[in-house]
């Protein structure tokens, strides 16, 4: 399995959320075998962490009603080459009942999500943040008993579609409560893509200074085209873990205006071009991304799939014998 030592050899740990966030807002049913084919392809491309599903009630997220079947399929065949590290597998859970469903299914870690926005929390769950955090203790205890790592997620960490700006103090309060509950991995979610690079840099810097023993993860949506810039800002502020989804799939059924995640291919391409080691086979991801529309009927929102990698010289085979682009254009 991928271990902390594996992560230590990477400059950036890219975490795929296609199986959960990528699919959860899709209405037409995606067959379980298609989900498994995509997840196996992502694992085979050496992505070190996969969030593969969510153990929520099917009434709320019908697309993920096959959570147990997905886990069973991955347990039978994860798609990783012999001798290659097995990625960490995680799932989203809403409460202790979700933890119980995830236990014993090959999942290594589970995540809770609570909003930094009081308005968003009350609009979706009719409960305030303090009440939700008090209730989180049962799920955290259940995860520990089951031998699962529990991660804390903060939705609307950088802005809320209901109240607008979310003060850094509100985000820091939720993070602080998670830390008091003993959580050491906390995901900061830009649920509807409202973040900008300066905001991300300031928030990550402040939170890391306050909680030096917490590993922070950036979960970014590309609603306004700032996802990659926000990822770079977070890494430059000292954060190393970034979420993404194949083809930029994604969206939250409980957050009006939420569009897709940062594209996995674009993020890996950007990281490698900057010089950050990801350990991921980018060419394998590109080949898988090209198959996404045929497999799911969903279009990939990926700049690299359209334009190619930065050093792909698309016009080289079209040059005339004299090698002159100008001559070709004149001709």
Average pLDDT, the chain: 92
Q: With the C-alpha atoms ordered 120, 124, 128, 133, is the resulting torsion angle positive or negative? A: negative
Q: What is the pLDDT of residue 319?
A: 44
- How high is the pLDDT of residue 256? 59
> Where does the pLDDT of residue 124 fall: very low under 50, low under 70, confident under 90, or very high at 90 and above?
confident
Residue 328 has what pLDDT? 43
Instruction: Give the pLDDT score at 184.
Output: 97
Contact between 153 and 114 (Cβ < 8 Å): yes
Residue whose tokens read 């859970």? 93
Among the listed residues 303, 148, 301, 151, the one whose alpha carbon sits nearest the alpha carbon of residue 241: 151
Q: How confident is the model at residue 326 (pLDDT cuts 50, 70, 90)?
A: very low
What CATH fold (topology level) applies to the domain 4-330? TIM Barrel (3.20.20)
List pLDDT tens digits, range 2-44.
665 678 899 999 999 999 999 999 999 999 999 999 999 999 9
pLDDT beyond 60 at 115: yes
Q: What pLDDT score was predicted for residue 126?
A: 83
Please state the rounded mean pLDDT for residues 227-247. 98
Are the C-beta atoms of 292 and 157 separated by less than 8 Å?
no
Using an 8 Å Cβ cutoff, are 225 and 301 in contact? no
Average pLDDT of 288-314? Answer: 93
How confident is residue 330, by pLDDT bands cut at 50, 70 and 90?
very low
Alpha helix ranges (H) inside 187-276: 197-210, 227-236, 264-274
* CA–CA separation, 192 and 190 (whole Å): 6
Q: Stretch 52-69: mean pLDDT, rounded?
A: 96
* Catalytic annotation, pick one of 10, 30, 252, 300: 252
pLDDT in tens, 185-222: 999 999 999 999 999 999 999 999 999 999 999 999 99
pLDDT at residue number 5: 64
Structure-token pair, residue 6: 């594996």
160 labelled catalytic: no
pLDDT value at position 153? 97
Which pLDDT belongs to residue 211? 98
In percent, the amount of the chain with pLDDT more than 70 equals 91
Q: How far is CA 102 from CA 51, 84, 86, 328, in A?
A: 12, 25, 18, 60
Of 227, 219, 160, 150, residue with least CA distance to 187: 219
* The pLDDT of residue 125: 82
Please report, for the chain, the start and end positions of each structural domain, with discontinuous segments joined by +: 4-330
| Pairwise pLDDT comparison (315 vs 207), residue with the higher score | 207
Average pLDDT, integer, range 219-241? 97
List Cβ neighbours of 9 (8 Å cut-off, separation of 6 or more): 277, 279
Please tell me which residue, 258 or 63, carries the higher pLDDT value: 63
In this prediction, residue 246 carries a pLDDT of: 98
Q: What is the rounded distance in angstroms from the CA atom of residue 274 to the CA atom of residue 38?
A: 27
**Confidence at residue 239, expressed as pLDDT on a 0 to 100 scale:** 97
Considering the entire predicted model, what is its pTM?
0.92
How many angstroms separate the CA atoms of 150 and 99, rounded? 9
pLDDT tens profile 136-180: 999 999 999 999 999 999 999 999 999 999 999 999 999 999 999
How much is the pLDDT for 3?
61
Percent of the chain with pLDDT over 90: 85
């Amino acid at each position: 399995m991928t271990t902390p030592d594996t992560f230590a050899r990477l400059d950036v740990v890219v975490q795929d959320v296609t199986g959960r966030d990528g699919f959860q807002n899709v209405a037409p049913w995606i067959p379980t075998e298609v989900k498994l084919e995509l997840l196996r392809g992502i694992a085979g491309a050496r992505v070190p962490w996969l969030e593969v599903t969510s153990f929520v009630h099917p009434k709320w997220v019908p697309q993920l009603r096959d959570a147990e079947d997905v886990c069973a399929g991955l347990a039978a065949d994860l798609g990783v080459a012999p001798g290659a590290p097995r990625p960490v597998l995680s799932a989203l859970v809403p409460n202790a009942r979700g933890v119980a469903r995830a236990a014993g299914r090959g999942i290594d870690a589970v995540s809770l999500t609570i909003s930094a926005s009081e308005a968003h929390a009350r609009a979706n769950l009719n409960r305030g943040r303090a009440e939700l955090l008090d209730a989180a203790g049962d799920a955290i205890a259940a995860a520990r008993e089951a031998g699962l790592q529990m991660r804390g997620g903060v939705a609307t960490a950088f802005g809320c579609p209901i109240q607008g700006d979310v003060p850094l103090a509100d985000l820091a309060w939720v993070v602080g409560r998670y830390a008091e509950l003993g959580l050491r991995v906390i995901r900061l979610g830009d649920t509807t893509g409202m973040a900008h690079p300066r905001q991300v840099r300031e928030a990550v810097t402040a939170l890391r200074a306050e909680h030096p023993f917490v590993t922070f993860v950036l979960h970014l949506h590309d609603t306004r085209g700032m996802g990659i810039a926000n990822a770079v800002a977070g890494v430059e502020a000292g954060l190393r873990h970034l979420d993404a989804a194949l083809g930029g799939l994604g969206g939250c059924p409980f957050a009006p205006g939420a569009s897709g995640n940062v594209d996995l291919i674009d993020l890996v391409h950007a990281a490698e071009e900057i010089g950050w080691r990801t350990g991921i086979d980018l060419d394998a991801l590109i080949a898988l991304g090209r198959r996404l529309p045929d497999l799911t009927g969903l279009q990939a929102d990926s700049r690299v799939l359209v334009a190619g990698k930065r050093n792909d010289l698309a016009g080289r085979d079209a040059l005339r014998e004299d090698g002159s682009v100008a001559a070709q254009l004149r001709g």
